[in-house]
Amino acid sequence: MSDVIVAGRSPFEALDGLSMPGLAAAPDRTRHVLRGRDDIHSPAAEVLGFALPTDACRAAGAGGRHALWLGPDEWLLLTPAGERVDKALAFAIGDAPHALVEVSHRQVGIILDRPDAAQVLSVGCALDFDLAAFPVGMCTRTLFAKAEIVLWRTGENVFQIEVWRSFADYLWRYLVLAGAEFA
Amino acid sequence: MLLITCPYCGPRPEIEFAHGGEAHIARPQDPSSLGVEDWTEFLYMRANPKGVHAERWRHLHGCARFFNALRDTTTDQFVATYKTGEPRPDLTAVTA
Amino acid sequence: MSGSFRTGIGGRIRRERTVRFRFDGVTYAGVEGDTLASALLANGVHLMGRSFKYHRPRGVLGAGADEPNALVEVIRDAGRTVPNLRATQVELYNGLEARSQNRWPSLAFDVGAINNLMAPFIPAGFYYKTFMWPRKAWDALYEPVIRAAAGLGHAPTDPDPDSYLNRYAHCEVLVVGAGPTGLSAALTAARGGGRVMLVDEQCEPGGSLLSEPDVRIDGLSTRDWIARTVAELNANPRVTILSRATAFGYFAHNMIAVNERLSEHQADPVPGAPRERLWQIRAGEVVIAAGAHERPLVFPDNDRPGILLAGAARTYLNRYGVLPGRRVVIATGHDEAYRTAIDLSRAGVEVAVIADLRPRPTGPLVELARALGLPIRTGCAITGSKGGRRVTSARLSAILGAGKLGPPDEIACDAVLMSGGYTPSVHLFSQSRGKLRWDEALSAFLPDVSAERERSAGACRGVFSLEAALADGATAGAAAAGVAPPTPLRTTAVDAEPAGVIGAVPHDRGPGARAFVDWQNDVTSKDLKLAVREGFQSVEHVKRYTTNGMATDQGKTSNINALGVLADELKRPVEKIGLTTFRMPYTPVTFGVLAGMARGDLFDPVRTTPIHGWAVDQGAVFEDVSLWKRARYFPQGGEDMEAAVRRECVAVRNACGIFDASTLGKIEVVGRDAAEFMNRFYINAWTKLGIGRCRYGVLCREDGFVMDDGVVGRIAADRFHVTTTTGGAPRVLNMMEDYLQTEWPELDVWFTSTTEEWAVIALQGPKARDILAGLVEGIDLSQEALPHMALTEGQICGVPTRLFRVSFSGELGFEINVPASHGRRVWEAVWAAGQPHGLTAYGTETMHVLRAEKGFIIVGQETDGTATPDDVGLAWAVGKAKPDYVGKRSLARPSMSAPDRKQLVGLLTESPETVLQEGAQIVASLGLKAPMPVIGHVTSSYYSAVLGRSIALAMVSGGRAKMGETLYSPAGSGDVPVKVVGPVFYDPEGARLNV
């Protein structure tokens, strides 16, 4: 499935060139939701190459793979397009109760990378983006205007956004309008 | 907009949450063994107090967990939040 | 009017920059830095509006947010007409066009002023008493006339072309008000290193200091001190200063709503540029430095143009370089008016007299006025005024004691400047639910017990002296930021005695005299007294009966005086009467800023499926289903919906149809207890459902009523692919999580929404298998390998698929689930492969007809939240052997199986062409007159092309026992007879499914 989005269609195609500096579609990814209790932590770490983050709202990663804490028993696994970890994970976790569901196509990634990224987000998101309140490496589900998103800060001025595909058009338009006042 | 402290994620804006009705009303283990009055009591009767109320909330657009909260219905202020399954906090201990 | 009232020097205006504007069609000149009010006053225009009820001519009363009289409409164009602006807050720009309100045909001659002559007949509560009956007259006469006469200004006629912005902000300390107290608080708080926001409603920071040119703070002029302070704040990257930004609402947990006006003050805003921005600021600590409002004096005829607040007059002089008149009478009960007298006198205005209600006023300001030789009468009441559109004289009487007044004296003047003292602005504090206390010495309510992490400072908590207010602000800012307060600043300000007067000024004018308490709503002291005499005791009742304080100014100038009048009349102290509730907004805000960016394209997310673009290309007509756009039908060659749907239906039944079912909710239920969870949750039995098999699932709420339905496929022993209705997906997922997390946490099962992971292509019709055959790999499509209600996994067009053999049409059918990104490509491949077979695209309307022909229900159409599974013919789905499932106990209640419950039936009209109205009622016999007993209603009704007649589904009381009976559906054209039949109209044996 390395050609997932390449061969398929991106929900951004209808956006007609609507753009702004620092706003881009994220590269293709393979995505899974991993659910389970404490007994999946160490087998998952063996497969992923890093420990699943257990602190609330924190992401961890290595070698291009990332796990985002979304809830106390819920992680969003992001791996490079086509790099599938599901079978290895299922094998490693074995009999420990868990659920692994692919969501590669459910959502799309958007990267907001500009010096005023936090301010642009503050147009539609009620969270505090001060680095003390939302440090680099923090990730969380939240709302941007009327769209639910997963927001992940990967740099002081860099945010990765995961959004369900049917909300992507709305979110993109909103961000472009939000960014317009900082132009 | 209220600021609600999710027991997992910390203080977050109200719009991320969904209200879930009164807390600590356990579904009976064997509903079919209940008489009409007991079932009606479980299904429909709620305390609706003026003052501190134990109620369920869900951090819907966050960690998606249900949790319980003590909220003062006269002021809308949250007194305490705690995880599902934990006992209702003793308010005298909370305020002390 | 005699020439310009502009002074030669002074003020914060730029005299060299002339600004031309129009008011009520007349062109005037002002200068840069003016407000509309100051510019009109400079032109000698005091008459700026008419009052709401009596249409009395009114001049400007104040100089800021508290203005009750000078309400204007500012007109840019048909889409940008803003009513109810206070002229005192409208910044002047070149070409500004403003119009007074509440007058017709003109401000000078107003027909509505007849109300003024009728005033003796329009007392408090007049509307309540007079327009009670006859009832019919309300609709025909009273309401239209009242509506025509009432109202403040006009709404714009065109859509608002402007844009509005939104911003969430967070800070450690928010300071509201950038007067001396607020500046001092922000400066101190900023030294703590946290984020500080300072918001102020005016065009520049400074507040009352903008009207204090002569005082020195810390050795600097006020202008320089403001500049130095603002510079230090601006140099701090952690500080944000917002001007033209009104904190209008204080919400729970220190959330403050601020309306920032971005382009209102500009002559030519860039087209499309944002007009206002809503800030929602969450503050750790709030310092309220909102200042105080001056109180008018309540005396007869106190509402003539030319009578204004003394402090406002001083602001016009010192900030705008405008004289309120040439010969003024100062009427006061407070020291501050002496400042006005002194400054005006120095500016060359003749102070005819200072009439002070107090018998023995003392203090430095009084002494200064005496030293300047200004005429002062102490123990003197103002008891009236004369003049038409401008005051020409004031009537003064000595107060002799014991309610007696001396003989009146008429003093000629062209302005009366009054002051009863200052009322702390406790609006925001009160909105925050803080408790107030009455301070007898100050005659004021002051903040007492805070409900939020908040502190008031300066004049809004009764600290009026400039030096004390600066220190109070510093202390509050320091406490909010957790730093030590700085050394207090020294000033050269001369302090006033803080105490003033409240209530009505004594007079000897007889019962006809009108002393206004609330200018904007035309409430007089007599109205308040009448309310008390009629039995109203509670201040909240008096407020509603008289409408005192209920106008757009929120009683900023009137509340305390009203309390004073009530206290006198009720013979009760003010603190026992209490204050009415302050509500947001502090000053009116536009609908635009509340709507913000949620307009047009961004009003709501418009959700589209991966196949949406194809449907658009085909000219589909769409309908909204929750937030989704779904193709409703695909018209060809100018077809209307009826024609298109008939063609689409026939094509599905005779050949094959293709339908985008991607919006169906999908939830993956995974875990070793998945089957156990499904068993407890849905009414059906699941444990015996084989892997690769599907079942139609029905979900009830705990009260036993149908909530949702959908096909559920078992992918693996521990994995179910659950589908829900399009609109029901979030509800069902939430309910699953609710039961799992709070009732059955011991179960090892998890839910993941996969609605958008899969595009779903429904292929329905006898040719469906033939079309699919060439596209799938590794899938045996035969009836034996993949029978009805089976599923398999494999490949289609080179991508993975979950292929369901299901049918919502009654035909041989498949639902092809493919990863969403590939949905369009697979759809197009199926479309191409189907062309030789007559494949036809169909929409939701045809889907509805096809399922109705088969008697399949739609949750939310046949059900309404009060239908049990048995009511809609789904009793067969219940896993009767299960000890428990959600809703089971409720369904066991006797009333849930009562024979007269509404049950799903089919209805056939006598005439095959008659299509009943959905929602039409069903009655038992012919010719009943309303209100008649209704025994049911039509839930679905269509023309069935394949049957060549109309069909309908209905919920009818005891319907299943009425088979073959004739009932009636009342319609406009008469009762339509209908025959009760079973709900399955087409292929009742299901022969077409199992092929």
Chains with 3 or more CB pairs closer than 8 angstroms to B? A, C
Say if residue B87 is preceded by a cis peptide, omega within 30 of 0: no
**A-chain residues within 8 Å CB-CB of C755?**
106
Instruction: State how beta strands C274-288 and C163-176 pair.
Output: parallel
Structure tokens at C152: 């403040």
Cα–Cα distance list, A116 to A21, A113, A181, C618 (Å): 11, 8, 11, 42
Using the structure block, give the residue that is written with the tokens 């298998």.
Answer: C769
C26-47 burial, b for 16+ CB within 10 Å, e for fewer?
eebebbbbbbbbbbbbbbbbbb
Question: CA nearest C197: which of C239, C168, C235?
Answer: C239
Number of residues that this document lists for chain C: 995
Sheet containing strand C921-922, strands side by side: C921-922, C936-944, C949-957, C902-909, C974-981, C966-971
Mention every residue, 6+ apart, whose C-beta is less than 8 A from residue C889: B31, B32, B34, B39, C704
Chains with 3 or more CB pairs closer than 8 angstroms to A? B, C
**B-chain residues within 8 Å CB-CB of A72?**
8, 63, 65
What is the C-alpha separation between C369 and C366, in angstroms, rounded?
Answer: 5
Domains present along chain B, CATH in parentheses: 3-26+41-95 (3.30.2270.10)
- CATH number of the domain at A19-180, please? 3.30.1360.120
Residue C727 is predicted with a pLDDT of 92
Using the structure block, give the residue that is written with the tokens 């006009």.
Answer: C154
Instruction: State how beta strands C415-419 and C327-332 pair.
Output: parallel
Q: How far apart are the first and last CA of chain C?
A: 97
**A-chain residues within 8 Å CB-CB of B12?**
127, 142
Sign of CA dihedral A125, A127, A128, A129: negative
Identify the H or E element spanning C183. Answer: helix C180-190
Torsion of CA C468, C472, C473, C474, to 10 degrees: 100
Identify the H or E element spanning C593. Answer: helix C591-595
Residue C106 is predicted with a pLDDT of 67
CB C298 within 8 A of CB C195: no
What is the C-alpha separation between B5 and C38, in angstroms, rounded?
Answer: 49
Q: How far apart are the first and last CA of chain B?
A: 27
Of A13, A97, A147, the CB nearest to C671: A97
Of A11, A97, A174, the CB nearest to C672: A97
Return the domain boundaries, chain A: 19-180
User: Within 13 Å and on the Cβ side, how many CA atoms surround C641?
Assistant: 13
Domains present along chain C, CATH in parentheses: 1-156 (3.10.20.440), 163-292+424-481 (3.50.50.60), 296-420 (3.50.50.60), 502-570 (1.10.10.1100), 610-663+757-853 (3.30.1360.120), 664-754+869-884 (3.30.70.1400), 893-995 (2.40.30.110)
Question: CA nearest C942: which of C644, C640, C646, C632?
Answer: C646
Question: CA nearest C947: which of C912, C977, C916, C917?
Answer: C912
Structure tokens at A52: 């699943």
Mention every residue, 6+ apart, whose C-beta is less than 8 A from residue B26: C743
What is the C-alpha separation between C905 and C757, in angstroms, rounded?
Answer: 37
Q: How far apart are the first and last CA of chain A?
A: 39
Phi-psi region of C257 (alpha: psi -120 to 50; beta: other; left: phi over 0): beta
A74 touches chain B (CB under 8 A): yes
Substitution target from A68, A73, A143 for chain B, most B beta carbons within 10 A: A143
Spans of chain C below 50 pLDDT: 1-2
Cβ separation of B63 and A142 shorter than 8 Å?
no
Mention every residue, 6+ apart, whose C-beta is less than 8 A from residue C359: C378, C379, C399
What is the C-alpha separation between C776 and C801, in angstroms, rounded?
Answer: 9
Interface size, chain A vs chain C, as Cβ–Cβ contacts under 8 Å = 129
Cβ separation of B75 and C893 shorter than 8 Å?
no
Residue C660 is predicted with a pLDDT of 98
What is the C-alpha separation between A98 and C698, in angstroms, rounded?
Answer: 26
**A34/chain C closest Cα distance in angstroms:** 9
Of A97, A102, A145, the CB nearest to C748: A97
Phi-psi region of A20 (alpha: psi -120 to 50; beta: other; left: phi over 0): beta
CB C757 within 8 A of CB C820: yes
Of C166, C627, C754, the CB nearest to A124: C166
Residue C105 is predicted with a pLDDT of 58
A 23-52 near B (Cβ less than 8 A): none
Mention every residue, 6+ apart, whose C-beta is less than 8 A from residue B4: B11, B12, B13, B14, B16, B17, B57, B69, B78, B81
What are the start-end ranges of the H helices in C20-125?
36-42, 114-117
What is the C-alpha separation between C848 and C833, in angstroms, rounded?
Answer: 25
**A135/chain C closest Cα distance in angstroms:** 15
Kindly tell me the burial class for residue A58, based on how many C-beta atoms sit within 10 Å of its own C-beta (0-12, 13-18, 19 or more): middle
What is the C-alpha separation between C252 and C573, in angstroms, rounded?
Answer: 32
Residue C579 is predicted with a pLDDT of 83
Cβ separation of A141 and B12 shorter than 8 Å?
no
Of A4, A33, A181, the CB nearest to C819: A4
Q: How many CB atoms lie within 10 A of CB C983?
A: 25
Average pLDDT of the segment spanning B44-59: 96
**C865/chain A closest Cα distance in angstroms:** 27
Cα–Cα distance list, C138 to C118, C119, C122, C177 (Å): 21, 22, 18, 46
Question: CA nearest A100: which of C670, C748, C745, C736?
Answer: C670
Cα–Cα distance list, C439 to B65, C335, C461, C559 (Å): 49, 18, 10, 15
Residue A3 is predicted with a pLDDT of 35
What is the C-alpha separation between C310 and C417, in angstroms, rounded?
Answer: 5
What is the C-alpha separation between C291 and C426, in angstroms, rounded?
Answer: 9
A 150-169 near B (Cβ less than 8 A): none
A135 touches chain B (CB under 8 A): no
CB C732 within 8 A of CB C738: no
Number of residues that this document lists for chain B: 96
**C-chain residues within 8 Å CB-CB of A127?**
168
**B51/chain C closest Cα distance in angstroms:** 15
What is the C-alpha separation between C712 and C681, in angstroms, rounded?
Answer: 13
**B45/chain C closest Cα distance in angstroms:** 13
Of B32, B43, B58, the CB nearest to C702: B43
CB C489 within 8 A of CB C479: no
**B-chain residues within 8 Å CB-CB of A141?**
16, 61-64
Cβ separation of C605 and A166 shorter than 8 Å?
yes
Q: C862-866: long-range contacts (C-beta < 8 A, 24 or more apart)? A: C862/C904, C862/C939, C862/C940, C862/C953, C862/C955, C863/C705, C863/C706, C865/C705, C866/C705
Of A56, A143, A148, the CB nearest to B8: A56
- What's the farthest any 2 CA atoms get from each other in chain A? 54
What are the start-end ranges of the H helices in C265-374?
310-318, 336-346, 364-371
CB C587 within 8 A of CB C608: no
Cβ separation of B85 and C892 shorter than 8 Å?
no
Using the structure block, give the residue that is written with the tokens 């500096």.
Answer: A21
What is the C-alpha separation between C745 and C768, in angstroms, rounded?
Answer: 43
Nearest CA in chain C to B86: C742
Cβ separation of B32 and C741 shorter than 8 Å?
no
